[in-house]
Amino acid sequence: MKYWSSSRRDFLKTVAGLAVSGKLLAQTRGPLQRPVLIVGGGLAGLAVLDALKAAGRQAVLFEASARLGGRILTIRDGLEPGLRAEAGGEQVMRSHQRVHRLAGDLRIPLIDYPILEGDLVFRHRGRMLRFRLPSDLPADLTDGLSPWEKTRWPHRLHLAYTVNADPLADDDPRNALQWLRDLGLSRRGETFVRAFAAVDPEQISAAHFQRIARREATGGNSQALAGGSDRLTEALVARHAQSIRRNTPIRSVVIGENTATLLDAAGEAHVADQVVLALPLGPLLALDYRPGRPRWLSRWGEARVVAHELKVHAQVDAREFAALGIRQHIMGFEFPRMTWLLPERSANGKAVLSTTAVNRHLARLQEARFRGVQDMERLLRQQLPLLRTLAVKTRGEDWEHNPLIGGAYTYVPAGSRGSPPVQREGPLVLAGSDYSDYSGWMEGALQSAEAAVSEILRYSP
């Protein structure tokens, strides 16, 4: 594919001529229309590329690393053949229509995550507590819950409160914890909410928390992409391999009246009439904007990026798990929030045990991971003493410290507005899960891509 690019020598000349060339090119759209440039090869960037191509537009995507997919990462190395572990995006709620549609288009089936089938297990004070109904839980776990809370699933308490609450205004100044306390959340209930809500309720505005929780509550049981989440991104990559430039980190964005010039790390300049920045908040803020940052970035600058969630994996003998009568989920305060077996199992009886830590468990898991796999094994053994076949083989990606990722989730501080409409400034359009109604979900990456593409086609059909 041929598109407008130049050497570093030409860059200054290009920048100097931006205003003029921009106007000229604006007048000569049509056969001379330049490709849309997309920065970021996560699901959002790839979906933008796919949709633009489907609309008959030329587009080129720049990805900083050698690997496409961003926060979708399926690990297979070090596991028995046929096994896989997801380090990033995994569960697809039934209400995530865009993911379902894309998976259908790419002929990737979804498999059920049988979350609430059979007994659940709660690890508490060194004991494995099996329960089917909330009332089965022992008093030392439920003491301090209000009578109403005692009849709810404790690990879904944040949803029980949210579903019944009146909708909150975006500018409600309370954080989610203050709001839940106002609704009657008990001290003991707080422990459950902190452990099981997807985000830390003290770190997120009440309105944003309510949006996230309502979607979770209406999503029903989740599903997963058969064969691995990366089948989604890999299929898009295969479809558009010719239009993707790997190992090309973009460092600077020079914003002209009608054009933008991207300067990559090798000093090459790429000029376009329309640029989609499909980046997480951290890398988006890290770009060098000339003559200055887009206005919408200052608003997003208030938001914080937090790696709320970390996954670690161990290979186990599925038969041993079954013999223990443990179904998919183990949860507990002392343990990384959730532990589950992938619904797909290989023929050799091996399965992958995944654990997810959020909020305050993160530090402990990260520490263990940094010290190595051995320590992780010790941590899991200590927490799951009944499992003898445990073999920690894989580890999660360091989402927090990887500068290309900039965290797993953003959160919007209390008082600032929630998810934005389409963001455009001159030739720049923003995309990415972080700025969608579904921040922290693959659905959000697709929603943002949809919005960005319709904005581009509206601007230059």
Ligand X SMILES: Cc1cc2nc3c(=O)[nH]c(=O)nc-3n(C[C@H](O)[C@H](O)[C@H](O)COP(=O)(O)OP(=O)(O)OC[C@H]3O[C@@H](n4cnc5c(N)ncnc54)[C@H](O)[C@@H]3O)c2cc1C
The binding site for ligand X (CB under 6 A) comprises 39-45, 62-65, 70-72, 88-92, 249-250, 278-280, 283, 309, 311, 399, 404-405, 408, 432-433, 440-445
Measured from the CB of residue 353, what is the shortest distance to ligand X in angstroms?
A: 16
The residue among 17 and 249 lying less far from ligand X, judged by its C-beta, is 249
- The answer to whether 94 and 325 have CB atoms below 8 angstroms apart is no
Q: Which is nearer to ligand X, 150 or 329 (CB)?
A: 329
According to DSSP, residue 205 is labeled B
Nearest CB to ligand X, comparing residues 4 and 179: 4
Q: 3-class DSSP state for residue 127? A: strand
Distance of closest approach, residue 230 Cβ to ligand X, in angstroms: 10
CB burial of residue 292 (10 Å; 0-12, 13-18, 19+) = exposed
What's the min distance (Å) between Cβ of 396 and ligand X?
7
**Alpha carbon distance 186, 94 (integer Å):** 31
Q: Which is nearer to ligand X, 8 or 132 (CB)?
A: 8
Least CB distance from residue 392 to ligand X, whole Å?
A: 17
Give min distance, CB of 365 to ligand X, in A: 11
Residue 105: CB atoms within 10 A of its CB come to 12
In the numeric block, the tokens 């997309």 are attached to 38
Q: Is the CB of 76 or the CB of 188 nearer to ligand X?
A: 76
Residue nearest to ligand X (CB): 42
Surface-to-core class of residue 182, CB atoms within 10 Å of its CB (0-12 exposed, 13-18 middle, 19+ buried):
exposed
Q: What is the CA radius of gyration of the chain?
A: 24
Give the N- to C-terminal CA distance of the chain in Å, as an integer: 21
Q: What is the rounded CA–CA span in Å between residue 255 and residue 19?
A: 10
Which tokens belong to 126? 């060194």
Residue placing its CB nearer to ligand X in the complex, 45 or 201: 45
Distance CA 118, CA 233 (A): 33
Shortest distance in whole angstroms from residue 349 CB to ligand X: 26
Q: How far is the CB of 342 from ligand X (least distance, A)?
A: 12
- Give the residue with the Cβ less far from ligand X, 280 or 427: 280
**Residues in a beta bridge with 42:** 69
CB of 348 to ligand X, least distance (A): 26
**Between residues 65 and 258, which has the closer beta carbon with respect to ligand X?**
65
Instruction: List, in sequence order, every residue forming a beta bridge with 120; answer none if it has no partner.
Output: 131
Sequence-ordered list of residues with C-beta below 8 angstroms from that of 332, at least 6 positions apart, any chain = 122, 123, 124
Number of H helices, E strands in the chain: 17, 25
CA–CA distance, 221 with 237 (Å, rounded to integer): 29
